Structure 1
Amino acid sequence: MGGFFYVPSWKRAPLEPLPPEGDEAHWVVFADEEEIGLRLVERLERAGRRITRVRSGERFEHLTDRAFTLRPDQPEDYAALVRALDTNAGPPARFVHALSLGGAREAQPGPGAFQDAQRRGAMSLLWLARALSKLPGGAHLVALASGLHDLTGRETLRPEHATLSGICRSIPLEYPHVRCRVIDLESASPDAAEVAPVVERILAEARSDAGAPVAAYRGPHRWVPTVEPVPLKAAQGAPPLLRERGVYLITGGLGGVGLWLADYLARTARARLILTGRSAPTDEQRLRLQALEQAGAEAVALRADVTDTAQMRAAAREAIDRFGALHGVIHAAGVAGGGLIDRLTADALDAELAPKALGALALDEIARSFQPDFVLLCSSVTALSGGLARAGYAAANAFLDAFAQVCARRGGPYTVSVNLDRWRNVGMAARAEARLLALGLDDVILDGMSPEEGQQAFHRVLSQAALPQVIVSARPLHGLPSDDEGAALARRLGAGNAAAAGRSLEPHGRSGAAAAGAAERPSPEAVTAQVTAIWARAFGIDPIDPGKDFFELGGESLLALQILNRVRETFQVELSLRDFFERPTVAALAERVQAARGQAPAAPEPALIALPRTARRLPGAGSAEPPARPDGQPVPSKGPKENG
């Protein structure tokens, strides 16, 4: 496993010289009263550019031909803005989002500061990208923030805004015509002499076609992220950070990854474990808990909301009252979430961000009080690649990476964020793998780590105590990781790139359909019957009500892709996911098929792999014999925020 490990790094990447720009470009700048935003607007106006300024406000308002206010966290305001932009000024091609330069600046971000940063930052950027995707010809979007990354060791870090990186890396995967780049400035309030050069750099970035979705400026130099391999040697026996019979708290401890890590601690150190989860253990989890005890561990399962500091403090106190100490914390909580940006809601985004981000803040408060030997944050390589239908997940993990850097600067318990590759058939990956298998993407499923390799990766990470971030990838990296799942989905759907899977799709076999124009068209009833059969096989439900909403049935993005792909192959028609989601029922989809078919005959229905809703694991996948008994006193839970 020596080649599995990398650390984040940066390389100088100056922009190529740009030709002089004409006056035809229309600029839209989202900025409140921060100096950089104001000076950017002044610079464009002084140059005679067509510019529209958008500020945050209490409601959407069209103030003048070139001035608007909107609510940063309300998607309908961005849709209204795009509709209202003056088309006579030419298509707005360049957008600069500077709302994240404002807001509270706290040395130690709390839940309130984090949530406000998302309202002005990640959430605002998602709703803007969704609205821009409707523009003919697309748009170029630059998001500004400061302190996202630790390059010099001296800049003020603002991890609450690091979610922008995950969002910006995900947007082009779903909207290929919306180019997005986040610019990490050295300071949101530079010295007076530095403001003008900073503004010129921003203007150059907004005009540039440079491909990197993340860039940072420190002084006059432009940097882009990369990775460097690092040899992590495995300790002989237990790693130095682990204690024999040590006491360890694992959030998400009843989830797939949490139980595998508990199994590792049981077998390596005969650990005493507090495993928190959002609900009481299932029968399957109780069996796995019994296996922990057989391996020499003691385990207590507690119900606790990882986002609630009081509940997590109670869980830590349970560890001390029962076992006399707290030696380590592993943050493995999270929710699978997922969903195309077109369907994402504010509540869904909050639910995806909260377990990881607010959970990390709650655990940090506990760590500062109880001083364990280490805090290990389970991040994901998706933070570095973005993800198709995983923008919120990428954002949440990007926060963990940035927060670990803050903890390293501050001192205290050793904190490390580990960007994990997929654990094959474990936890959240099991559900996605089942859908990928159903789409015929066996090659993607074979990527990632086996559970045993995941345990060995943790062994090596815990064998050192110097790195605040470690990237674990079963695939060799020659730069930042890529979203191979998204690319594979696009290939399977016949699209040219991952983004096309979330937008309109190329038709299959149109020439064949035209040649068969004289063939008899099936009746609307026959089309509805075939579409119903496809849905029934996909959901594992029979019969299905043709008027029942896809999401009420429990559908999610990969299942939508599966159904749409089968319908397209069966009827040889061109349909987009946007068409599907506008009216996501059997009846509406059958109507669209009938309208789109022309004279194309129905092809034999392709094989569809049934996926029972109660089973998320791949056929034949092994299950280890993980952890011990759920005999602890439950801590009252506020709600289902946590994986497990």
Structure 2
Amino acid sequence: MDSTEKIKLLPKHLFALIKQYQQQTLGHAIKDWFYNYEWQIKPRQLQAIANNMQLPQQGKWLILADQGGIGEALAELLQQRGHKCILVYAGDSYQVDQTKSKEKYYLNPVNLGDFQSLFQQIVEPLKLPLHGAIDLWSLDAQLTPELTISALEAAQRLSCASVLHLLQTIVQRSWSVWPRLWVVTRAAVGVLDTDTLAVAQSSVWGLGKVIALEHPEIWGGMLDLPASGVMDEAATLLAEIEHPENEGLIAFRNQKRYVARLVPTIPPQPQKVLFRTDSTYLITGGLGDLGLWLARWMVEMGARHLILTGRRGASAQTQETLNQLKHKGADIKVAQADVSKMDDMARVFEQVQTSMPPLRGIFHAAGVLDDGILLRQNWERFTRVMAPKVQGAWNLHILSQNQQLDFFVCFSSFTALTGNLGQGNYAAANTFLDALVHYRHKSGLPASSINWGRWADTGMALTAQSQLEQMGVQGMPPEQALAILGYLLAAGVTQAAVAKVNWVLERETHKARQQQPLLERIWTNLPVTQVASQTSIQPPEILHQLQAAMPSQRREMLMAHIQNRIAKILGLNDSQLPSVEQGFLELGMDSLMSVELKNQLEKDLETALHASLLFNYSTITALVDYLTSQVLTLDFGTDPVKSEPDQDNSVTSGDSIISTTDATDLEEMSQMEIAELLAQKLANI
């Protein structure tokens, strides 16, 4: 080969070297971003077994009983130990049935008032300590092969709605000792490769992980029974609830007890995924930032026929992006359709069948956010978030079962694995996606679920960016996330969690809470030097300052500290300190900002604080009164002010900047549209 030919080959070699360098650089950057669930066998501790001989004092237990008799069998065992049990069944309304020898109670799972009536009229008058509440209603959900949309919606009411309303009813009452809340499911999680999942029961596991974060004071845990009842299930449940260990995610399979752990995994090998030029690919939620990033990438990877769905049509800005893709040779169709409505999606599938090449891939990226702590949530807000993920994914599953698909990809969330403050509905919705994917995989259908962490500067993540950053959840550049998606698709992965997390900050977020066994494998492997360097960045200076100050100075010092914290959260400058008498909602704080402030105060004061703290004490003055009189043990130089919770602390949906009635599908909006919407809402506060 002469020198001229070698020179001609130089650009090709240079391009290959650049690509190799880019892959190596990307591989180093993302090597710590991959996680998955691992179920490990963990028998009950011998000490806990021995403790079963030491019965707790006589008390009462509230059992939301299933139709299969497990709740009744559990009640019999508890009654044999001297306890009183209140058995409650799912019904259309609050009723007391006195036609038989024993009273039976019925509640509508979606009616919070029914739960409150039960406690006021039945639970509280029985003058015994309430040891716990066990919700077994999920067990009445239909099995997956028999599932319909209406049955799926009924299952969400039996599981998530009942747990939400039971939690709210318990937490809003005063207890000398907090009762424990337990939730029982059957085959809701995939522990063994042989498990066939009851997907309708899966969502409540996501909700449970958020309860563990927001209300560790009452959380007992999730207990998943095997698909076939081959054990003494009532006795197994009794052992867990009467003398609990510090495990919140427990499953029973083949007479063994399993617990869940999040573990790092090895990244997939870099492989190039190519989409077929003679096939159609469907992207739900395709008109938002995330969907548009995905569409651009797919066109770069060879796709030439895309159909993008959204509840609204394409905006002018979105249409400009689509036109750019068309200029690259892609045929882009936009279908205005609600993925949660079967008729809408059937119309989309018909459009593909009649006027486009064969459908070969589905990317389910539609979603809605309506964040708020569980005490401020209601079932309407839950169903709004659940619909595109749960009903939407099920519609896609049903409509595509006879299609020859290469891909069926669900964009799930890291929140489904770990929980996240203020996102009980979102965690529940995404947990369903994971379960459906495993069910499809077991059925021989293509399926992948990616539990994404935060994509930087895109869609829904923008609304919670400050809180997530504080918790250690960092943004992944979309280009890198999409490269990872290609690797995962090429590898045929069923489920993978991909997130960029600073685990030191994440651990500090939960420092004042109970230990989180789910993350112990992550935390125990943190480098000691990393922990020491990062945890020393922001020591709890205010606590040291309070300890060093004169007693008469401490109250004003704490007041000023909280004012500065709130000003920073609200984005105010140093000259705009908030009024100490103005309500937090009036100041412009939504529920997530309140959670952020509470988290900061937990770290500042090195103590656990109740999730409803800022709703019970809704001004800076009331909050300081409470902290100085009932939390901090320091001398504040005056007689402590007994601070009572604010009277107006009922469950409401009015704390969100974006309200239930006019909240927009954020995942289908561009950055500019989200900014405009937030500006409008903030202007109306």
Normalised by the shorter chain, which TM-score bucket?
0.7 to 0.9
Give the structure 1 partner of residue 223 of structure 2: 183
Q: CA-to-partner distance for each residue in 1:447-490, whole Å, 9 max, x for gaps?
A: 3522122111110111033x4322224459xxxxx8x8875556
Matched, 1:282 2:309: no
Closer/same/farther in 2, CA of residues 25 and 473 from structure 1, 3 Å limit: farther
Choose between structure 1 and 2 for higher RCO, CA contacts under 8 A separated by at least 6 residues.
Answer: 1
Q: Is contact 1:521–1:600 with CA below 8 Å preserved after alignment? A: no
Is 1:141 aligned with 2:165? no
After TM superposition, give the deviation of residue 364 of structure 1 in Å: 1.1
Q: What's the offset of the Cα at 1:428?
A: 1.6
SS in 1 for 2:383: helix
Q: Is residue 2:459 matched to residue 1:427?
A: yes
Distance 1:569 1:15 in 2: 32
User: Match for 1:303 among 322, 326, 336?
Assistant: 336
Aligned to 2:297: 264
1:57 aligns with 2:91: yes
Q: After superposition, where does 1:406-417 map in structure 2 within 5 Å?
A: 406-412=439-445, 414-417=446-449
Q: Quick check: 1:229 aligned with 2:281?
A: no
Residues 580, 621 of structure 2: 8 Å contact kept: no
Counterpart among 71, 80, 89 of residue 108 in structure 2: 71
Task: Please point out which of 124, 128, 135 is paired with 1:90.
Answer: 128
How far is the alpha carbon of 1:564 from its aligned partner? 7.0
Q: Distance between the aligned counterparts of 1:229 and 1:370, measured in 2?
A: 32
Q: Which residue of 1 aligns with 2:366?
A: 333
In structure 2, how many angstroms separate the alpha carbons of the residues matched to 1:569 and 1:50?
A: 40
- Is this contact kept in 2: 1:31–1:55, CA < 8 A? yes
Which residue of 426, 444, 454 corresponds with 2:481? 454
Q: Return the offset for 1:286.
A: 3.3
Structure 2 vs 1, CA of residues 11 and 422 (structure 1 numbering), >3 Å: closer, same or farther? same
Aligned to 1:471: 497
Give the partner amino acid of 2:497.
I
Structure-1 separation of matches of 2:82 and 2:296: 65
The residue aligned with 2:237 is 202
How far did 1:338 drift?
1.6
Deviations 1:557-606 (A, max 9, x none): 32334577899999xxx99763543596xxx66676689889899xxxxx
Q: How many angstroms apart in 1 are the aligned matches of 2:323 and 2:368?
A: 25
Shift in CA distance, 578/44, structure 1 to aligned 2, threshold 3 Å: closer
Pick one of 125, 129, 140 that aligns with 2:167: 129
Q: Does 1:388 align with 2:421?
A: yes
Residues 531 and 554 of structure 1, relative CA distance in 2, 3 Å threshold: closer
Is the aligned partner of 1:247 residue 2:273? no
Cα offset, 1:61, TM superposition: 4.8
Please say if residues 513 and 600 of structure 1, whose CA atoms lie closer than 8 Å, have aligned partners that are also in contact: no
Letter in 1 for 2:425: G
Note if contact 2:182-2:241 (Cα within 8 Å) is conserved in structure 1. yes
Q: Within 1, Cα distance between the matches of 2:448 and 2:129?
A: 45
The corresponding residue for 1:158 is 198
Tell me the secondary structure at the aligned position of residue 94 of structure 1: strand
What secondary structure, in the 3-state scheme, does the structure 1 residue paired with 2:70 have? Answer: helix
Pick closer, same or farther for the CA change 1:369–1:640 going to 2, 3 Å. Answer: farther
Q: CA deviation at 1:514?
A: 8.2
Residue aligning to 1:626? none
Aligned length: 575
CA–CA separation in structure 2 for the residues paired with 1:303 and 1:287 = 17
What is the one-letter code of the residue matched to 1:368?
A: Q
Partner AA of 2:249 in structure 1:
V
TM-score (norm 2): 0.72
> What is the match of residue 173 of structure 1?
213
With over 3 angstroms needed to count, the CA separation of the structure-2 counterparts of 1:109 and 1:569, relative to structure 1, is closer
Q: Which residue of 2 aligns with 1:502?
A: none
- Amino acid across the alignment from 2:114: D
Alpha-carbon shift at residue 398 of structure 1 (Å): 0.9
Percent identical among aligned pairs is 25
CA offset digits 1:81-130 (Å, max 9, x no partner):
44442476532123222111124345152221121111111121122223
Task: Tell me the SS of whatever aligns to 1:212.
Answer: coil
Residue 559 of structure 1 pairs with residue 593 of structure 2: yes
Secondary structure at the counterpart of residue 269 of structure 1 = coil
Alpha carbons of 1:270 and 1:498: their partners in 2 closer, same or farther (altered >3 Å)? same
The equivalent of 1:631 in structure 2 is: none
Determine the structure 2 residue equivalent to 1:400. Answer: 433
Q: Distance in 1 between matches of 2:273 and 2:627?
A: 63
With over 3 angstroms needed to count, the CA separation of the structure-2 counterparts of 1:534 and 1:264, relative to structure 1, is: closer
Query: In structure 1, what is the Cα distance between the partners aligned to 2:583 and 2:345?
Result: 38
| 1:11 aligned residue (40, 55, 59) | 40
Q: Indicate which of 155, 158, 183 corresponds to 1:117.
A: 155
**What residue identity is the alignment partner of 1:470?**
A
Residue identity opposite 1:13 in structure 2: K
Q: Secondary structure at the match of 2:301?
A: helix
Q: Return closer, same or farther for 1:515/1:182 CA change in 2, 3 Å cut-off.
A: same
Residues in 2 aligned to 1:434 and 1:161: alpha-carbon distance in whole angstroms: 32
Q: What is residue 610 of structure 1 aligned with on the other side?
A: none
Check whether the contact 1:137–1:177 (CA below 8 A) recurs between aligned residues: no
Distance in 1, Cα, partners of 2:127 & 2:233: 27
Which letter does structure 1 place at the counterpart of 2:331?
Answer: E
From 349, 357, 373, the equivalent of 1:324 is 357
How far 1:506 sits from its partner (Å)? Answer: 14
How far the C-alpha of 1:185 sits from its partner, in A, is 1.0
Is the alpha carbon distance of 1:353 and 1:473 closer, same or farther for their aligned partners in structure 2, counting shifts above 3 Å? same
In 2: Cα distance, 1:129 partner to 1:382 partner: 20
The aligned counterpart of 1:367 is 400
Deviates more, 1:81-90 or 1:59-68: 59-68
CA shift in 2, pair 1:222/1:42, >3 Å: same
Q: Is the 8 A contact 1:78 1:128 kept in 2?
A: yes
Distance 2:191 2:603 in 1: 49
> Matches of 2:176 and 2:462 in 1, distance apart?
38
CA–CA separation in structure 1 for the residues paired with 2:340 and 2:130: 40
Shift of 1:260: 1.7
Counterparts of 2:225 and 2:568 in 1: how far apart (Å)? 50
Q: In the TM superposition, what whole-angstrom CA distance separates every residue of 1:247-303 from its partner, at most 9, and x where no partner exists?
A: 211011122322221121011114321111222333443343344345543322332
CA contact (8 A) 1:306 1:641 kept: no
Change (3 A) 1:181 1:643: same
Alignment check: 8 A CA contact 2:509 2:603 kept: no
Change (3 A) 1:92 1:550: same
Larger relative helix fraction: 2
> What secondary structure does 1:397 align onto?
helix
Structure 1 residue matching 2:667: 3-state secondary structure: coil
- Matched AA of 1:233: Q
Q: 1:217 aligns to what?
A: 252
1:95 and 1:206 in contact (8 A); partners too:
no
Q: Residue 310 of structure 1: CA displacement?
A: 1.5
Pairwise CA distance, 1:336: 2.1
The Cα shift of 1:43 comes to 2.2
**C-alpha separation in 2, matches of 1:275 and 1:545:** 47
Given that 2:366 and 2:667 are in contact with CA atoms closer than 8 Å, whether structure 1 keeps it comes out as yes
Task: Tell me the SS of whatever aligns to 1:184.
Answer: strand
